[in-house]
Amino acid sequence: MIGGGPEAASHQAGRNGKRVAVIGGGITGLSAAQRLISTDPTAQVVIFESTERFGGIIRTEHSDGFLMELGPDSFITNKPGGIQLCDDIGFSDQLIPTDAEFRRSLVLRNGRPQPVPDGFMLMAPAKPWAIATTPVLSVGGKIRLLREAFLRPKTNPEVDESLADFVRRRFGREALDRLIQPLIGGIYTSDPEKLSLKATLPRFIEMEQKYGSVIRATLAEQRQKNGRPAASSGSGARYGLFATPEHGLGSLVDALLTWLQESGQATLRSNLLVSSLSRTPTTGDAANPSWKVSLSGVADEMFDAVILTLPTYRAADLLADESFADLAKALRDIEYASSAIVVTGHRLSDFRHSLNAFGLVVPAIEDRKVLAVSFTSRKFSGRAPAGHVLLRTFVGGAMQPELLEHSDAEVQEFVEQELSAMLGLTAAPAFSRVVRYNRAMPQYHVGHISRVGKIERLTVAHTGLHLAGSAYHGVGLPDSITSGRSAADRVQHGA
Ligand SMILES: Cc1cc2nc3c(=O)[nH]c(=O)nc-3n(C[C@H](O)[C@H](O)[C@H](O)COP(=O)(O)OP(=O)(O)OC[C@H]3O[C@@H](n4cnc5c(N)ncnc54)[C@H](O)[C@@H]3O)c2cc1C
């Protein structure tokens, strides 16, 4: 069922299963609803979405033979959420891997794209020889990076440390500025001086503690993996491990909507803004409260449980009642960064550079106006017509918010200039689209894990309320999906 209207409210009468409100129709909310329905044949789920379309940040459009991802373009497969969801709705056969031909990344050095050293995974240098010969680092920078293998581990690993502090301590400043900041900054659009290593990449802390060094851990893991297909056959942000639906991530959202509609247990209500939440009646059965969902322009509705999947500052707005004051305040403590993606289509022959990679990351130290350029049609087939390329250029983030104050036309102009300077673009693009994401990327700053712990402790006090989304235990699609599914399981278990 799609759409609003009074008939949706009539679900309240004569039901015997749990009635659950999912607030937010992005991938987290849709995954939560799917999980709830697949584990409880009696549940009735209503999904409220304030805009006219479901999918949230995920948005795929097709134009003149180009398949344009206006939000995320793929997901990592070594985290289970994405694959589990696709399996559950019979969608896995739609997934395609990255194109092995172009499986490498570039990093800008003194204005020129250079290959990221082979086998370099975020900050794990799997091939010391590739570090020794890379043009990305100076001789001193290489020696300092490789010396990591002989440094002592930190004695107080429990203390949260910023990414920048960790990398300077282990690999030296140059490795941070020239390689690791752009590779990791590109994922989190964050300031590495503030980014919590524990909340984002705890694996590296474990490697340091278990093997005494990240390099020694990487080499040991490689020896153990001997015989298995090497994940280190690429470079950069583990591109070889990414997948996406052949027809774009929008087709996953469509499949999910179809699954929900066919279940007969979901009501999909778009163009409906949830304005507030309250527990009612306050004098009723404290163990089984009812939740009142207030909607702008239509009658309030009552539910047994609520899964709230909005960015934390919006979730806090909905929890305006005095009884939620502490929780709302804790939710507002999570900061968000804004960014924009400029999607452009080009003739390949309009570039002097061959673009034979998945993309280019740009260190902040290079002082350019872009964070990264994804060569989208090199990553996945079927994204551009023959002889053409589709690029996605990232602008803004926590490090350059001022660039987003420019108009779309100005952003398009400086992106074109940067593409000319860095990649030798010689002609205007066939098309250029600016898509803005205001306060869409949660910032996992140092102390994030304890902030989330506090939010979770405060939420437990409000039986029937469940929070999910990219703000808590991981920013990407698989983590968002997993967080929606876990919230559904908590509803199911009456938490
Ligand atoms: C620019 C960008 C690029 C990204 N690229 C990748 C990538 O390549 N791979 C990857 O794995 N991850 C990527 N991510 C992260 C990924 O997009 C998110 O993890 C995921 O989309 C979050 O989904 P969500 O459902 O939690 O939130 P959203 O998609 O934000 O959905 C929330 C929904 O709630 C609705 N809503 C808001 N307020 C209300 C209200 N009051 N009432 C009702 N509805 C409301 C909104 O309209 C929206 O539809 C990217 C993120 C950004 C910002």
Give the Å distance between the CA of 233 and the centre of ligand 1. 31
CB 25 near ligand 1, within 6 Å = yes
pLDDT per residue as tens digits for the range 291-333:
999 999 999 999 999 999 999 999 999 999 999 999 999 999 9
Angle between helices 181-188 and 163-171 (to 10 degrees): 160
* Gap from CA of 51 to ligand 1 centroid (Å): 13
Instruction: Extract the tokens encoding 461.
Output: 């006090």
- Each residue's pLDDT tens digit, 126-184: 898 999 999 999 999 999 999 999 999 988 888 999 999 999 999 999 999 999 999 98
Is ligand 1 within 6 A of the CB of residue 237?
no
Q: What is the pLDDT of residue 288?
A: 62
Question: Structural domains in the chain?
Answer: 6-57+248-334+445-492 (3.50.50.60), 117-235 (1.10.3110.10), 336-442 (3.90.660.20)
Q: What pLDDT was estimated at residue 12?
A: 43
Listed as ranges, residues in the chain with pLDDT below 70 are 1-16, 226-240, 281-289, 495
**Ligand 1 within 6 A of CB of 31:** no
* Alpha-carbon distance values, 491 to 119, 134, 484 (Å): 43, 52, 11
Rounded (5°) CA angle 84-86-92: 115
pLDDT value of position 221? 87
Amino acid at 283: T
- With a 6 A CB cut-off, is 336 part of the ligand 1 pocket? no
- One-letter amino acid at 378 equals R
Q: How many CB atoms lie within 10 A of CB 123?
A: 25
Q: Is the CB of 50 under 6 A from ligand 1?
A: yes
**How far is the C-alpha of 75 from the C-alpha of 211, rounded, in Å?**
29
Q: Closest by alpha carbon to 117, among 40, 189, 180? A: 180
CA distance 321 to 95: 44
Cβ–ligand 1 contact at 244 (below 6 Å): no
CB atoms within 10 A of CB 270: 16
Task: Provide the pLDDT for residue 289.
Answer: 62
Residue 281 has a pLDDT of: 64
Residue 294 and residue 280 in contact, taking contact as beta carbons nearer than 8 Å: no
Provide the residue type at 334 as one letter.
Answer: I
3-state SS of the chain is CECCCHHHHHHHCCCCCCEEEEECCEHHHHHHHHHHHHHCCCCEEEEECCCCCCECCCCEEEECCEEEECCCCCEECCCHHHHHHHHHCCCHHHEEECCHHHCCEEEEECCEEEECCCCEECCEECCHHHHHHCCCCCHHHHHHHHHHHHCCCCCCCCCCCEHHHHHHHHHCHHHHHHHHHHHHHHHHCCCCCCEEHHHHCHHHHHHHHHHCCHHHHHHHHHHHHCCCCCHHHCCECCHHHEEEECCCHHHHHHHHHHHHHHHCCEEEECCCCEEEEEEECCCCCCCCCEEEEEECCEEEEEECEEEECCCHHHHHHHCCCHHHHHHHHHHHCCCEEEEEEEEEEEEHHHECCCCCCCEEECCHHHCCCCCEEECHHHHCCCCCCCCEEEEEEEEECCCCHHHHHCCHHHHHHHHHHHHHHHHCECCCCCEEEEEEEEEEEECCECCHHHHHHHHHHHHHCCCCEEECCCCCCCCCHHHHHHHHHHHHHHHHCCC
CA distance linking residue 303 with residue 96, whole number of Å: 39
Those residues whose C-beta lies under 8 Å from the C-beta of residue 453, and which sit 6 or more positions away, are none
At residue 399, the pLDDT reads 93
Asked whether 423 lines ligand 1 (CB < 6 A), one says no
179 CA distance to ligand 1 middle (Å)? 28
Out of 57, 244, 272, 380, give the residue to mutate to test ligand 1, the one with the largest number of ligand atoms within 8 Å of its CB. 57
Ligand 1 atom nearest residue 48's Cα = 43
Instruction: Provide the pLDDT for residue 16.
Output: 66
482 in contact with ligand 1, CB cutoff 6 A: no
Distance in angstroms (rounded) separating the CA atoms of residues 430 and 68: 13
